[in-house]
Amino acid sequence: MSSAQVNIMGINFLIGCKEGEEDELKSLAQAVNDKYETLHLKASRVNPELSFAIISMNLADEVRRLKEEASSFEEQKKQTADLKAEIAELKRSLDDANEKLANKTKENNDLQNANNEMQSGAAVMAKQFEDLKNHLQNETEKRQKSEEENAELNAKIMDMGNDAKIMSDKLDVETSFCQEVQEQNKKLQSEIDALKSRIENTEAELSTASAGQQEREKTNETLQSRIDELAADLTKETATVKDRENQIDALQNELAIVKNDLANENKNRNETNKAVIDDIAEICAKIYALANTIKKG
């Protein structure tokens, strides 16, 4: 415990205080003296008790006002803190709004880009659809042309079939004729064999008898002449048969060529029809895919 000697309104006082509070106590005494001077109590010669009462009331009033100011300051401080909190909340809201705005702006840009891409894709698909339409029209024209060619080819095949039938009938006739010629050749060969047998018999008779030599020689000459005629006829018929056989071979070759051409024509027509059908199927698939793409878009 300590004390300090202070002078208030010209009166010395010894006031107890805690250690280290001496200077503060003197400062408070000086504040009372300053208030005493401010209120002009010294000049008005007011007694000390009343002066202390007036000073105490002034100091109490100042303390009250200071408390009110402190309370107002605390309220203002609280309001300031609330305002700061509101400002921080508004700042966070503003940051969130800015972030949302940035996201929306990005989404709008993405949507705009997607829209541009869709418009570009739609233009590309429209061009592809137009190309497919033109291709389909070309393929349709090709198909119509192919059908016309097929009709002409069918007519040609029918004509070739008729020609083949005519040639086959002709070949049958020629074959029948060759068979008849062969039968005639067999008959001529039989006659030649019979004449040879007669010549042999005649020669045998000539060897045994000399009578009627001239008649036999004449008969032999006649027989020899007949043999020569038959041999000539046989040679002629053989040449005719050979010509007929050559004609038959030529007809058979021509018929084989016709059959081969007919098979090739049928094969080419089938391949052409298959290619046209494949092209039409591919076009239909592309149109279906394009329709699905446009529908999804």
Q: What is the 3-state secondary structure (H, E, C) of 233-274?
A: HHHHHHHHHHHHHHHHHHHHHHHHHHHHHHHHHHHHHHHHHH
Please indicate whether residue 295 or residue 61 has the higher confidence score (pLDDT): 61
Mean pLDDT for the stretch of residues 180-190: 76
User: How many domains is the chain partitioned into structurally?
Assistant: 1
Q: CA 111, CA 118: separation in Å to the nearest integer?
A: 10
**What's the pLDDT score for residue 211?**
58
Domain membership flag for residue 39: no
**What's the pLDDT score for residue 44?**
59
Domain membership flag for residue 60: no
Side chain identity at residue 141, one-letter code? E
| Nearest in space to 271 (alpha carbons), one of 132, 136, 146 | 146
Residue 280 sits at φ, ψ, to 5 deg, of -65, -40
Domain membership flag for residue 78: no
Q: CA 21, CA 38: separation in Å to the nearest integer?
A: 26
Nearest-10 crossing angle of helices 48-208, 22-38: 110
Domain membership flag for residue 52: no
**What's the pLDDT score for residue 212?**
60
**What's the pLDDT score for residue 182?**
75
Upper half-sphere CA count for residue 267 (Cβ side, 13 Å): 6
The radius of gyration of the chain from alpha carbons, rounded to an integer in Å, stands at 73
Of all residues in the chain, what percent carry a pLDDT higher than 90?
A: 0
**What's the pLDDT score for residue 291?**
66
C-beta separation of 160 from 261 below 8 A: yes
Question: Residue 39, Cα to own-chain centre: how many angstroms?
Answer: 103
| Nearest in space to 229 (alpha carbons), one of 188, 263, 270, 199 | 188
Q: CA 62, CA 38: separation in Å to the nearest integer?
A: 14
Upper half-sphere CA count for residue 102 (Cβ side, 13 Å): 5
Q: Which residue has the tokens 């408390």?
A: 67
Domain membership flag for residue 5: no
**What's the pLDDT score for residue 42?**
54
pTM of the entire structure? 0.31
Token pair listed for 165: 């039938």
Domain membership flag for residue 122: no
Cα torsion angle, 139, 140, 146, 149, sign? negative
Q: How many CB atoms lie within 10 A of CB 51?
A: 20
What is the domain range of residue 167?
128-207+219-296
Q: Is the predicted pLDDT of residue 156 greater than 70, yes or no?
A: yes
Domain membership flag for residue 134: yes
- Least confident interval from 5-19, 56-70, 121-135, 213-227: 213-227
Mean pLDDT for the stretch of residues 64-84: 83
Cα torsion angle, 78, 79, 84, 85, sign? positive
C-beta separation of 146 from 276 below 8 A: yes
C-beta separation of 146 from 268 below 8 A: no
Domain membership flag for residue 213: no
**What's the pLDDT score for residue 294?**
66
Q: Which residue has the tokens 């190309």?
A: 131
Q: Is the predicted pLDDT of residue 140 greater than 80, yes or no?
A: yes
**What's the pLDDT score for residue 154?**
75
**What's the pLDDT score for residue 41?**
60
pLDDT in tens, 100-131: 888 888 888 888 887 788 777 777 777 877 78
**What's the pLDDT score for residue 117?**
80
**What's the pLDDT score for residue 11?**
83
Q: Would you place residue 12 in the very low, low, confident or very high pLDDT band (cuts 50, 70, 90)?
A: confident
Q: CA 155, CA 159: separation in Å to the nearest integer?
A: 6
Q: Is the predicted pLDDT of residue 46 greater than 70, yes or no?
A: no
Token pair listed for 284: 């239909």
Torsion of CA 59, 65, 71, 76, to 10 degrees: -140
pLDDT in tens, 237-263: 777 777 777 877 777 787 778 778 877
